[in-house]
Amino acid sequence: MNKRTINGISLNPIGLGCMNLSHAYGKPPTEEDASRLLLEAVDLGVEHFDTAALYGFGKNEVLVGKALKPVRDKIFLASKCGMTGVDGKRVIDGRPKALRATIEQSLTNLQTDVLDLYYLHRWDRKVPIEESVGELSRMVEEGKIKSIGLSEVSAKTLQRAHTEHKIAALQTEYSLWTRNAEIAVLDACKALGTSFVAFSPLARGFLTEQVTDPSILVDGDIRKGMPRFQHPHFEKNKALLNVVREISNQANCSLAQVNLAWLLHQGDNIHPIPGTTQTTHLRDNLGAIDVNLTHEQLSTLDNAFVPEAINGKRYPLVTQQEIDTEEF
């Protein structure tokens, strides 16, 4: 595998987003099945595992911590603060006091003394970014975290934060279906030496045809509230998949592998973290590392998925107002 680095640490290029093992897409797998998948990921060469205090309101960190404790020295462990569950509700709070409380709980949940990467999950606009990052920098000094990341922020906010402390990684959604990062953030990351971590690189199942009709989504699935998974946007977007199928046939690989290979071709500082609850999908995703798309195939995908061809916003209005990313 061609290694990629975060904070100077060499990692296999595809990591694992752990959110859906506890959160967001309907009924999660059992603890036994989720733990089995996490350990199989390690056996298959996954090193980068991504969780957050928000996911399952702490349950995901507990799951990941328990399952991966025996192999803690073999993995790169990332979590997030600044957005947590309080009295059953999602709360964005970037005050130093809140971040301090979250790191202590996260270390306990994850059964570790130090995290390799700790993100500010959302920028709390009531708190200057420098103040939140300043508290994270004190955690670095204290040895509780090794590096700092930001999630869902603009290039301008990244640059402001970087003046306070080196930002090792920026995480936001990036796929053929969501290319907002190409407006400014990717260039800002390259200029600052910041790694880019791409979540939802398979568009929450859309790009792999795991979701063929929005009616199959169950109650509690966050996609039900996302405009792109609603009528009429979903039907209009489905036509784009014809191009992915064509490239899949040409390259003799799966739809997932086409999408992840395209993403890996966008820069050697990009780290996709697809999530899955199924070991067959896990193995398939990792196979993308060996897929080499031609220049012509990459151009075909680029041209088919231009931003103006995508129907619907990626988030509902309330959520969209909470994030700081540039939008087409």
Rounded to whole angstroms, how far apart are CA atoms 245 and 101? Answer: 47
Q: Which residues contact 201 (CB under 8 A, 6 or more apart)?
A: 174, 175, 259, 260, 263, 272, 273, 274
Q: Which residues contact 228 (CB under 8 A, 6 or more apart)?
A: 177, 206, 234, 237, 310, 311, 312, 313, 314
Please tell me which residue in 25, 55, 119, 315 is annotated as part of the active site.
Answer: 55
Q: Which of 176, 67, 194 is nearest to 184 (CA)?
A: 194
Rounded to whole angstroms, how far apart are CA atoms 169 and 152? Answer: 11
DSSP-derived letter for residue 308 is G
In the residue annotation, 119 being an active-site residue is answered as: no
Residue type, 160: R
Rounded to whole angstroms, how far apart are CA atoms 289 and 283? Answer: 11
DSSP structure string for 200-230: STTGGGTTTTS-S-GGGPPTTBGGGGSGGGS
**Catalytic residue positions?**
55
